[in-house]
Structure 1
Amino acid sequence: MALASAQCPGVDQRSLLLELRNSLVFDTFLSSKLVQWDQSVDSWSGVTCENGLVVGLDLSNESISGRIDESSSLFKLKFLQSLNLAFNYFRYSPIPLGLANLSYLVHLNLSHARFAGHIPVELSRLTKLSTLDLSRFYFTKEPMLTNLRSLIGDMGELRELYLDRVNVFPVGSEWCDDLSSSVPKLEVLSMSFCSLSGPIDPSLMSLANLSVIQLDGNNLSSTVPRFLANFSNLKTLSLGDCGLQGEFPHEIFQVQTLQTLNLSSNNLLQGSLPEFPENGSLETLVLSFTNISGRLPYSIGNLRNLSRIELVNCSFHGNIPSSFTNLSRLSYLDFSFNNFTGPIPSLSKSKNLTRVTLCHNSLTGWIHSTQWEFLSSLLILDLGVNLLEGNIPSSLFTHPSIQELSLSDNRFSGQLKGSFDAPPPMLQKLILSNNNIGGELPMSIWELRGLCYLSLSSNNFSGSFHINWIQQLQNLSGLDLSYNHFSIDATNTASQAFSFLSLISLNLASCQLTALPHFLANQSQLYFLDLSHNYIRGNIPRWIWTLDLTHLNLSSNLFEDMETHLSNLTSNVFVVDLHSNMLQGKMPNISSCVLYLDLSSNNFNSLIPNDINNNLLDLEFLLLSKNNFHGCIPQSICKVGDLKVLDLSHNHLNGTIPDCLMIMSLEVLNLRNNQLNGNIPQNILGTCSLKMLDISENLLQGKIPLSLANCKALEFVNIGENQIDGTFPCHFTAISRLRVLVLRSNKLHGEIGCPHSHYTWQMLQIIDLSSNDFGGTLPMSLLASLEAMKANVDFDLLQCQFSDYFRQRFYYEDTMRATLKDLQLEFVKILTVFTLIDFSSNKLEGPIPYTLEDLKALHVLNLSHNAISGSIPLVLGNMDQLESLDLSRNHLNGTIPTQLANLHFLSLLNLSNNQLVGNIPTSGQFLTFSKSSFEGNLGLCGLLLNKSCSISKNKTEEATDDGDDGDNDDSEKKWFYMGILLGFVVGFWIVGGPLVFMRSWRFAYYRFWDEVLFRLSRL
């Protein structure tokens, strides 16, 4: 009911209203109705009268606080038909029972009024109610409504029911029965976030007048019933975040009366958009965060009334139909995080558009200069993370209404020269990062006085400018100029000139700074500062710790020392990244607030302090690698905060590994390349949460602890290059998430594999057992279990992902070494599509199993330096992803399969020092390999070895081995020579006889023809 004013001549009614006013606590500065009530006036704001009686009272938004007493004069206004107390603050007091005495009430609105506790069943006496709004209650531990029927059972006239965020606890879909049997005239049902469970029962169909159904945020966990399309008056259907699943019925999309459809945040809901009928009524369509996918139908242009469409993070693909130009009433469009391709459609007829978000797609082409200039209401335009290219039209920068413009992560090029000569009046946020925009940064950009945030990072801007130019952007709070090719001069900055700036975030990474900007000392609001990858020398000043920073990154500079001990300051900094500097001396005492601390790649030369746990009470990341720390690892490090990542690698630490490190809540432990000795701690708890363990390149002895199998989350294990004894660690087969296992260069012995174990290594992609004393044959059952090597599964980089601090996600990357053709290579980031098997330098024997053929996603296979015998299996030629194959220094015999020439990715091949015979294939990848790949095989011949091949028993055997391969070069030459013999029978005894019986003639003859054929092949 609209706010009304009327004359209320009844003296008793006036006195009751004044008595009510005096009993209520309200803010006179915020009140617009109660503050005007007075005995002397005839007009009472918020009061509606009929025949001198108060029938309507609207006190919404009157800043009323406190509680309404049961004796309040409110309950003496017996003829009230409408009462609105919404949007006040009744301090979580109970709903007054006196409301039940207002028997004439038709409309009752107590929404957003901060009542709490149970909804009194006494309200059920209000049998004339047509509208009941109790939504958005704030409740105590007790449920707000335990029995829906007890409240609405007698409200047969109810047409609108709003119970949003009221806890209702019926059993199953009992709530549907309660509604259908109690309120048959119901038109509006709004029960979002009421803890309802599903499915929606067909009994709801008896409510034939329903036009609004809002059930968002309930746990329906079912399919969407088709009968919802049968509501002939349905205007709004909102089922967001309800756990819906299965196929969404097309019929509902096509309901002629439907104006609003919201299905967002139902990740298991599938389907596609149908063909839309002409002149549909749909005004709002929200399908974000569902699995509704496919192409947008051209008929979407029939929705002439559509004003809002959100398809965020669905799986739509294909072009955005050109029929979008018909949507003249469109005001809000968000298609971000999909797979749309092709050009951006014209939206020039949508004069009311305020927001267009098309980021994170694959849109291509150019932005035409006239595409947006007619959208005079456009406030936000986000086209980031696409494949758009060309020059950015200057009309975008001079648009009269755009406040936020993001074109980041595209392929835009050209220059910005002249783009800001006419400063846009409304532009507040400009993001052009991660493009190919070049040239000098136009000085006119500093004329954008309304800018609050500017990001030009990761482009090709050149030139130089003084940092004092920034002070012209008086409203600037965030600036990111990182990773360009220009240089910023920060010397001799006048800090007073920047005193009016109130920066919150400043990113000047890789800007060729040689000094710290001194104006930063006055930035009391600054919380994010990144000056990494510059050339700043000297000491880190004391004042930088007096700022209210939460994130500080000064990494990759030339800092040598700190002016103060951090423990003496009350800094609130959570993230401190000082890696890759020249800091030296003792490890600094760090503030207790720090969560992330990276001091790696410096020159610290000291013990790790025994009291390291005293200040670091909240630390989760501690990275001290690549320094000169020495001595033992102190036990106190186990008491540091809530460590998730500890990296002490590449130092000079000695002693044993503290047992407590293995019983912490660590997810990453890296002690690589130190001088640690003794045994690996044995008593690892069942609660182990390790994901990465690297203790390689130390002096560790003993056996691999059986209790390490308790670490079920392990993905990366590197115990290589130690002195570990024992047999193959069969207990690792219980770790199903294992993806990298490196045990190289130890003293392990026995057979590889576990005859009585069931392997769960379906994710294992790298296994390195090289340089041990393993014997026996190659393990067929182990190889058969390597599912990740059987198909090209495209995962992310192998790395651990941790908490999100201040919108920066931290990763920890471990490294590993692999031997490729006698080269030690180190992989810093391990792509999960990279797969490797290295069993080299052991005592393995027997044949190469044919089951290797199944590992079609294998990239590197190294079986060198063993005693493997038999022939090279032909099926190796089917491993089409193989990039490196090393079978050198074994006892392999037979010929080289010509099928290996089909391995188009094979770049490293080593078959040297075996017992192979026959001709080296001269096609495909074999044309790229060097002589060293085949040396040490006395029976091999061919151009690569400068050794001619003869027609002999060996050649006959080679032809037998090769079967019917018609492409074999030796076979062609054999038939060629036989043709000569058949054509010149007489000449055979003159020429052929000496060739057969005289060895020197025979070699000279074949060498001649080899050279002839080689020259012909080069023509």
Structure 2
Amino acid sequence: MGGACSRKRDLLDEDDLRRSGRYSKSGSSKWLLLMLPRCSTDVTAGRQGKCPSLMELCVAKVREDIKRYTSFSMLPRDLSQQIFNELVESHCLTDGSLEAFWDCALQDIHLGEYPGVKDGWMGIVSSQGQSLLSLDISCSDVTDSGLFLLKNCSNIQSLKCNYCDQISDYGLEHISGLPNLTSLSFKKSHAITAEGIRSFTNLINLVNLDLERCLKIHGGLIYLKDLKKLESLNIRYCNCVTDADMEPLSGLTNLKELQMSCCKVTDVGIAHLRGLSKVAHLDLEGCPVTSSCLDVISGFTSLVFLNLSRCGISDDGSENFSGLQKLKVLNLGFNNITDACLVYLKESINLESLNLDSCKIGDEGLLNLKGLLQLKCLELSDTEIGSNGLSHLSGLHNLESINLSFTAVTDGGLRRLSGLTSIKSLNLDVRQITDVGLTAITGLTGLTHLDLFGARITDLGTNCFQHFKNLQSLEVCGGSITDAGVKNIKDLKSLTLLNLSQNCNLTDKTLELISGLTALVSLNVSNSRITNAGLQHLKPLKNLRSLTLESCKVTATEIKKLRLAALPNLLSVRPE
């Protein structure tokens, strides 16, 4: 929203500007100083503690005195753009202040999720005319009538109307007259049907099209067959899309990204895509395809990202993975594959992320991963991996994230991870892990995320936390932590998320101890002995947005008082 205007403007020569006696919309931004009232340095505190620039001071002064101005149309375009962006970012743009932007030749109007946007605003949008290049009115109340006003903005290149419930097929007809559109997005637009897609036929310059969660477009993809420049198509969660919808896509040979999660496309539909050799990103999560589709996918030699999670993939046909040499991200989670499938991943030396969540993978299967030296993220949750398998990972020195939750890994196995000092995120939601296991990984000083949700950690084990000074997220739930153990957490100043739920012996003292963790955004201390009296200790946590104290001796009334008195950013509270 209100993104900075990124396009380079032509600047008028200073002498030319003086001779002209007027201000061009392409003029230099320094001429704002001649038009605006003087402003002192206390107008704004500056960005991130730095001294604000002169331009920031002036724009802030305009925002402060916005009611004094009736028009910015004589300002250079880049200045009116900055003022507009500032009003949006600070939520100061209103029906009244918007009027000042008539005919300002703005290039970018980003109002996605901004409250109050409606058809009445579209007149001002339309007045930008040929200058308007980018418009985002997502989550607005704009209707078909509002889109009609865009006919004056024929140079527009990017249009986002996500979650606009009042835009229908009729509104799409108005878009057909915008031939320069290269990017178009209508996520979760339930009123759009297959007939409405017909309006896209003339958008021959379209490169990116997003129709995610449009549930009535079955049969409409036929109208995309002549959009030869299309490179990205998102029809995720369009559960109306079937095999018949795939045939029109067969001629879109420039497609590089195709997202079809949770569509009803089967192996038959995938067969229609055989000629799309440029596809680099393919998402089929939740589609009812089987390993047979891999015969077609193996021909996508440019493939970098492949998501086959929750499909019907088995070991049969998995030999086709060996041809995908450029793969960097592969998600095979929740499929019926075993170690036999991993044999064909040995040559995928460019893999950086591999998800095997809930697959029937065992220790021997990990032997096939030891040569994947670029691997950064490895998801092994709910597999049959044990401590012995971790020895095969000892050479993966680029590994940054590993999930071992619900595996058979023990304290002894964690010693095999001790040399992987690049690890930043570690999930050990494993019942067998104890304080001893934590001692084995104290060398992983770069950890930023540590999940010990189901591990059996006591106060003794929390002594290890002093080695993890960079932790941003810590979950130690269901253990035997007391206030004494929290003393080893109170100095982790980088923490933004802390989950200590299910530690039933924690008291109000815990809240006192963590009161210095002022970076905290999320705190969960459910199922403990915390009372209303302890809530006072949370007052310094001004960044807190989520607070969970379920099954504690606290009342919603007292939490509400705390929120009103001291925690203005608190959005999610339990109990409510």
Q: TM-score range by the shorter chain?
A: 0.7 to 0.9
Match of 2:493 in 1: 712
Assess, with a 3 A threshold, how the Cα gap between structure 1 residues 576 and 279 changes in structure 2: closer, same or farther.
Answer: closer
Q: Deviation of residue 354 (structure 1)? A: 5.5
Residue 565 of structure 1: how far off its partner (Å)? 4.4
Q: Which residue of 2 aligns with 1:512?
A: 288
Please say if residues 359 and 384 of structure 1, whose CA atoms lie closer than 8 Å, have aligned partners that are also in contact. Answer: yes
Give the AA of the match of 1:315: H
Residue 633 (structure 1) aligns with: 413
Correspondence 1:234-249 to 2 at 5 A:
243-244=52-53
Q: Distance in 2 between matches of 1:210 and 1:318?
A: 26
1:592 is the counterpart of 2:296? no
- TM-score normalised per structure 2: 0.73
Mapping for residues 608-619 of structure 1, pairs under 5 Å: 608-614=389-395, 616-619=396-399
* Residue 766 in structure 1 maps to residue 525 in structure 2: yes
Distance 1:500 1:592, change over 3 A: same
Please list, as runs of the form range in 1=range in 2, the aligned pairs for 1:726-805 lying within 5 A after superposition.
Answer: 732-733=513-514, 735-737=516-518, 766=525, 768-770=527-529, 782-787=534-539
C-alpha distance after superposition, 1:644-668 (max 9, x if no partner): 2101213544681242534512122
CA distance in structure 2 between the aligned counterparts of 1:541 and 1:648, rounded to whole angstroms:
30
What residue in structure 1 maps to residue 5 of structure 2?
none
SS in 2 for 1:600: coil
Structure number with the bigger relative contact order (C-alpha 8 A, sep ≥ 6) is 2
Amino acid at match of 1:716: L
The one-letter code sitting in structure 1 at the alignment partner of 2:296 is F
Aligned equivalents of 2:260, 2:335: Cα separation in 1: 17
1:272 to 66, 69, 76: 66
Is the 1:679–1:703 contact (alpha carbons within 8 Å) kept by the matching residues of 2? no
Following the alignment from structure 1 to structure 2, what is the Cα–Cα distance between the partners of residues 466 and 409?
Answer: 18
Query: Are 1:856 and 2:570 counterparts?
Result: no
> Residues 294-313 of structure 1 correspond to what in structure 2 (within 5 A)?
313=89
1:268 and 1:833 map into 2 onto residues whose CA distance is 37
Could you say which residue in structure 2 is the equivalent of 1:393?
171
Equivalent residues of 2:501, 2:524 under 8 A apart: no
Partner of 2:6: none
Match of 2:338 among 552, 557, 560: 560
C-alpha deviations, 1:700-738, integer Å up to 9, x for none?
99963854433223441438569x999966983464248
Q: CA, structure 1 residues 270+580, in 2 after alignment: closer, same or farther (shift >3 Å)?
A: farther
Secondary structure of 1:458's match? coil
Q: Which amino acid aligns with 1:332?
A: Q
Q: Secondary structure at the match of 1:438?
A: coil
CA deviations over 1:555-581 (Å, ceiling 9, x no partner): 333333443447843522222223233
Spell out, residue by residue over 1:305-334, the C-alpha distance to the aligned partner (whole angstroms, 9 max, x if none).
xxxxxx6x453444499979974x947342
Contact 1:638 1:661 (C-alpha < 8 Å) held by counterparts:
yes
- Equivalent of 2:315, from 535, 538, 541? 538
Identify which of 437, 461, 470 aligns with 2:249.
470
Q: Which amino acid aligns with 1:335?
A: H
The match for 2:236 among 457, 464, 480 is: 457
Distance 1:481-1:289 versus aligned 2 partners, 3 A rule: farther
1:155-234 correspondence to structure 2 within 5 Å = 187=15, 229=36
Alignment of 1:602 with 2:383, yes or no, is yes
Amino acid at match of 2:133: R
Correspondences of 1:358-373 after superposition (within 5 Å): 358-360=136-138, 362-367=140-145, 370-373=148-151
Please give the per-residue CA displacement for 1:725-779, whole angstroms capped at 9, x wherever unaligned.
Answer: 9996698346424869xxxxxxxxxxxxxxxxxxxxxx86635434xxxxxxx97
Preserved CA contact (<8 Å) 1:467 1:489: no
- Determine helix, strand or coil for the equivalent of 2:69: coil
SS of 1:431's equivalent in the other structure is strand
- In our comparison, the structure showing a higher alpha carbon Rg is 1
Deviation at 1:503, TM superposition (A): 1.0
Q: Decide whether the 8 Å contact of 2:277 with 2:302 is kept in 1.
A: no
Aligned to 1:341: 117
Task: Provide closer, same or farther for how the CA distance between residues 689 and 564 of structure 1 changes in structure 2, counting only shifts above 3 A.
Answer: same
Verify: 1:667 aligned to 2:448, yes or no.
yes
Displacement of 1:502:
0.6
- Tell me by how many angstroms 1:500 deviates: 5.5
8 A contact 1:623–1:648 mirrored in 2: yes
Instruction: Give 1:492 deviation, angstroms.
Output: 9.1
1:443-471 Cα deviation digits (max 9, x unpaired) = 51351342222222234534443755532
Q: Counterpart amino acid of 2:560?
A: K
* 1: CA distance, partners of 2:193 / 2:414: 56
Structure 1: how far apart are the matches of 2:315 and 2:431?
Answer: 25
Percentage of identical aligned residues: 12
Match of 1:332 among 107, 110, 124: 107
Query: Pick from 521, 525, 542: which aligns with 2:302?
Result: 525
Q: Is the 8 A contact 2:518 2:543 kept in 1?
A: no
Distance 2:22 2:153 in 1: 40
Deviation string, structure 1 residues 79-128 (Cα, Å, up to 9, x no partner): xxxxxxxxxxxxxxxxxxxxxxxxxxxxxxxxxxxxxxxxxxxxxxxxxx
Contact 1:682 1:706 in 2 (8 A): no
Q: What SS does the corresponding residue of 1:506 show, helix, strand or coil?
A: strand
Matched AA of 2:419 = K
What is the CA distance between 1:675 and its match in structure 2?
A: 5.9
- TM-score, normalised to structure 1, is 0.44
What is the SS of the residue equivalent to 1:535?
coil
Quote the Cα distance in structure 1 between the aligned partners of 2:556 and 2:269: 67
Which amino acid in structure 2 is aligned with residue 453 of structure 1?
A: S
> Residue 377 and residue 209 in structure 1: after superposition, are their counterparts in 2 closer, same or farther (change >3 A)?
closer
Shift of 1:683: 5.5
AA in 1 matched with 2:498: F
Q: Is this contact kept in 2: 1:332–1:355, CA < 8 A?
A: yes
2:463 to 682, 686, 692: 682
1:423 aligns with 2:127: no
The 8 Å contact of residues 363 and 386 in structure 1, kept in 2 or not, is answered as yes
When residues 339 and 656 of structure 1 are mapped into structure 2, their CA distance, relative to the original with a 3 A threshold, is: same
* Greater helix fraction, Structure 1 or Structure 2: 2
Residue matched to 1:9: none
C-alpha change, 1:430 and 1:324, in structure 2 (3 Å) is farther
Give yes or no for contact 1:478–1:506 (8 Å, CA) kept in 2.
yes
TM-aligned CA distance change 1:570 to 1:535, over 3 Å: closer
d(CA) in 2 for partners of 1:230 and 1:269?
12
Shift of 1:429: 2.8
The 3 A distance-change label for structure 1 pair 323 and 788 is closer
AA of the residue aligned to 1:782: G
How far is the alpha carbon of 1:680 from its aligned partner? Answer: 0.9
Asked if the contact 1:429/1:453 (under 8 Å) is kept, the reply is yes
Change (3 A) 1:731 1:593: farther
Shift, 1:383, TM fit = 3.0
CA distance in 2, matches of 1:670, 1:882: 22
How far the C-alpha of 1:584 sits from its partner, in A, is 4.1
Please give the alpha-carbon distance, in whole angstroms, between the structure 1 residues aligned to 2:16 and 2:297.
57
1:488 Cα deviation after fit: 0.8
SS, match of residue 354 in structure 2: strand
CA distance 1:688–1:316, change in 2 (3 Å): same
* CA distance 1:469–1:671, shift in 2 (3 Å): same
Partner of 2:566: none
